[in-house]
Amino acid sequence: MKNNLINKINKLKKNHNAVVLAHNYQIGEVQDIADYTGDSLGLSIEASKTTAKLIVFCGVNFMAETAAIISIDKKVVVPEINAGCPMADMITVTALKKLKDQNPKAKVVCYVNSGADIKAESDICCTSANAIRVVESLTNTEEIIFVPDKYLGSYVASKVKDKRIILWQGFCPTHAKILPEHIMTAKDKYPGAKVLVHPECRPETIALADYVLSTGGMLKLAKESGSKEFILATEIGILHSLKRQNPEKNFYPALASAICPNMKLTTLEKILWSLEDLITEVRVPPEIAAKARLAIEKMLAVGRQV
């Protein structure tokens, strides 16, 4: 049954000259059939350089929108149109414009976990893989409005001392659930393990990290590190790729219930249906896309920080 599904997906992919891109939090079987699985920055880079005509994007909507904005000549479809991100919905354009009016000298850095309309109102975009570097790249600016993630923003503020960072109060409900006591319990159980924390976590959770990394950074570190055991403070979907890529190492979730429900909506069946009917296309109004593209391209020029 599963093999049958995969065969059909592969056949349609070939017919449409399509590529399947998946985020590291997708369910295991989706990660396994994807042509590329990675973090938000890796997925944006991949979308910008693929020669395929069609991108089937398995993640959440802001990621697929970002791919559609930077891949002008390609069609982007999503297997699950309802895969939103609550953090991205925590800010509106009206609120951002007000903040800009109140802080006229500030430049706006928006986390990629935001709508296209927010990106269009921003000077530059960032992901968890390059937020510090992006903020540092704004050399002629002392004030930064950072939206929408207050935790990633405060982590950046703790590293970039020569700028005042004005935070928006958004957050990721999945990462906010991971508390210091979860890390402490895991450390008691696995005292030799390295603690890898995503910067969407609370500052008090980040304070217990050996490394603060994007999901792509976690995969890289796990591969390159001499350590054999790791505690992961992030969404548990990452464990699939970690275990597959490092069968001789052990990975423990800091909190096994750190699950992003939206990331789990995509299934192999839905990927097949989206390739069959091609109707769940991601479209961004051209005038918003043109402005948002500038912010994303500036981020891509900055690249990855680790």
The residues, ordered by sequence, that sit 6+ positions from 260 with a Cβ below 8 Å of its Cβ are 25, 60, 172, 174, 235, 237
Binding to ligand 13P by CB under 6 A, coded x per residue (else -) over 6-35, reads ------------------x-----------
The residues, ordered by sequence, that sit 6+ positions from 262 with a Cβ below 8 Å of its Cβ are 60, 82, 83, 84, 85, 86
Which tokens belong to 161?
């001392």
Question: How is residue 252 annotated by DSSP?
Answer: E
User: CB-wise, 174 or 205, nearer to ligand SF4?
Assistant: 174
Q: Does 149 bind ligand 13P (CB under 6 A)?
A: no
Residue 292, classified by CB atoms within 10 Å of its CB into exposed (0-12), middle (13-18) or buried (19+), is: buried
Q: Does 205 bind ligand 13P (CB under 6 A)?
A: no
- The window from 101-109, 121-129, 136-144, 245-253 that contacts ligand 13P (CB under 6 A) reads 121-129
From the list ligand 13P, ligand SF4, none, partner contacted by residue 262 (C-beta under 5 to 8 A by kind): ligand SF4
Minimal distance in Å, beta carbon 86 to ligand SF4?
5
Nearest Cα residue to 125 out of 183, 115, 211: 115
- The window from 29-37, 126-134, 156-164, 264-272 that contacts ligand 13P (CB under 6 A) reads 126-134
In the β-sheet with 143-147, what is the strand arrangement from edge to edge? 124-126, 107-111, 143-147, 164-167
Identified binder of ligand 13P from the candidate list 26, 61, 113, 305, rule CB under 6 A: 113
Whether 149 contacts 87, CB under 8 Å: yes
Written in H, E and C, the secondary structure of 19-61 is EEEEECCCCHHHHHHCCEEECHHHHHHHHHHCCCCEEEEECCH
Note the Cα 62 to chain centre separation in Å: 9
Q: What are phi and psi of 256, to 5 degrees?
A: -65, -20
Minimal distance in Å, beta carbon 113 to ligand SF4?
5
How many of the other CB atoms lie within 10 Å of CB of 167? 18
From the list ligand SF4, ligand 13P, none, partner contacted by residue 86 (C-beta under 5 to 8 A by kind): ligand SF4
Q: Residues comprising the binding site for iminosuccinate?
A: 23, 40, 111-113, 128, 198-200, 215
- The window from 125-133, 239-247, 267-275, 295-303 that contacts ligand 13P (CB under 6 A) reads 125-133
Binding to ligand 13P by CB under 6 A, coded x per residue (else -) over 184-203, reads ----------------x---
Q: Does 172 bind ligand 13P (CB under 6 A)?
A: yes
From the list ligand SF4, ligand 13P, none, partner contacted by residue 39 (C-beta under 5 to 8 A by kind): ligand 13P
Q: Does 128 bind ligand 13P (CB under 6 A)?
A: yes
List of residues contacting ligand 13P (CB under 6 A):
24, 39-40, 113, 127-129, 172, 200, 214-215
